[in-house]
Amino acid sequence: MASEIKDITLAEGGLRKIEWVRRNCPLLTMLKEEFAQTKPFAGKKIALSIHLEAKTAYLCEVLQAGGAEVYATGSNPLSTQDDVVAALVTEGIEVHAWHAISDEDYNRCIDDVLAVGPNLIIDDGGDLVNAVHTKFPELIPAIIGGCEETTTGIIRLEAMNREGKLRFPMVRVNNAQMKHFFDNRYGTGQSVWNGINRTTNLVVAGKIAVVAGYGWCGKGVAMRAKGLGARVIVTEIDPVKAIEAIMDGFDVMPMAEAAKLGDFFITVTGCDKVIDEEDFLNMKDGAICCNAGHFDCEVDMAWRRANAVETRDMRENIVGYKLTNGN
């Protein structure tokens, strides 16, 4: 099956990004050199549903160097970088993804990647594993196993496992200490604010940042917000994590109270409707909602879209919603 991407002519820019990763990720480069000699994935097909940007693109290259046939799709409609996927296609990797893909096409691309009959799965959020079990159970005998790197995906896997529905082994990468201590706390903590700063072009110092969830990612987001000069409020339903946030020097309160105060709201929970109707109606005019969890259901965007009396594009990737209370 041929790749489906936005524009193959964007490949040059994507190749430059991947080269930058190659220079700055020596462990991946070491593995690529080793795999090129040992070919541990020779004769195997690997299907990936991941955030398709330069670092994960280099991971695809590493797997390909190990002898694998690599098939990739995005794990989030908004995180795919079109120049990077174009670069992967020029290197012989089949990709089905583009930025701002519709929900219908997103699910179809998941199906297209699985249609190759993978032997290994690399998942980010659990969509590949869920689709295999619900739509393509005939593929299961050929699947050796896979790995999942997100809290959200692991929640889904553990629910399937408790119900006896998970039919091949999956490694919970997110539970590894090297993952949550460093990638979640420092990597996500920094990248979330990198994204907010690029998108909003607003000064963070002096503002109130509300961080929903004090897991490893939430800790990193709160820590970076404090470093940028914000007053940080944490909302957390786990009492032990809530006390930890207090001990770390942050204010802790329910979202219903924090909604009245925040300038930035960042959800990092993996849960549904963390910010809902009541919270929207309590927010000050100009408050900015950001989701750093896997799915945008953490902020109840469906309610917001249905109840906004006016919407307009404020900046690239920022949509303004005017609600009935005037906010």
Residue 247's pLDDT is what? Answer: 98
186-322 matches 8-175 in CATH topology: yes
The three-state DSSP-derived secondary structure of the chain is CCCECCCHHHHHHHHHHHHHHHHHCHHHHHHHHHHHHHCCCCCCEEEEEECCCHHHHHHHHHHHHCCCEEEEEECCCCCCCHHHHHHHHHCCCEEECCCCCCHHHHHHHHHHHHCCCCCEEEECCCHHHHHHHHHCHHHHHHCCEEEECCHHHHHHHHHHHHCCCCCCCEEEHHHCHHHHHHHHHHHHHHHHHHHHHHHHCCCCCCCEEEEECCCHHHHHHHHHHHHCCCEEEEECCCHHHHHHHHHCCCEECCHHHHCCCCCEEEECCCCCCCECHHHHHHCCCCCEEEECCCCHHHECHHHHHHHCCEEEEEECCEEEEECCCCC
Would you say residue 275 has pLDDT above 90?
Answer: yes
Residue 238's pLDDT is what? Answer: 97
Would you say residue 231 has pLDDT above 90?
Answer: yes
What's the whole-number mean pLDDT along residues 50-67? Answer: 97
Residue 111's pLDDT is what? Answer: 97
Share of the chain above pLDDT 90, in %: 84
Q: Tell me what the pLDDT averaged over the chain comes to.
A: 95
Would you say residue 297 has pLDDT above 90?
Answer: no
Domain 186-322 has CATH 3.90.550.10: no
What's the whole-number mean pLDDT along residues 147-154? Answer: 90
What's the whole-number mean pLDDT along residues 153-178? Answer: 94
Map out the domains of the chain as residue ranges: 8-175, 186-322
Residues 37-54 pLDDT 10s:
999 999 999 999 999 999
Residue 327's pLDDT is what? Answer: 65
Q: Which fold has domain 8-175?
A: Rossmann fold (3.40.50)
What's the whole-number mean pLDDT along residues 136-156? Answer: 94
Would you say residue 179 has pLDDT above 70?
Answer: yes
What's the whole-number mean pLDDT along residues 25-44? Answer: 97
Would you say residue 278 has pLDDT above 90?
Answer: yes
Residue 326's pLDDT is what? Answer: 58
What's the whole-number mean pLDDT along residues 139-163? Answer: 94
Would you say residue 272 has pLDDT above 90?
Answer: no
Would you say residue 324 has pLDDT above 80?
Answer: no
Residue 239's pLDDT is what? Answer: 97
The model's pTM: 0.85
Residue 152's pLDDT is what? Answer: 83
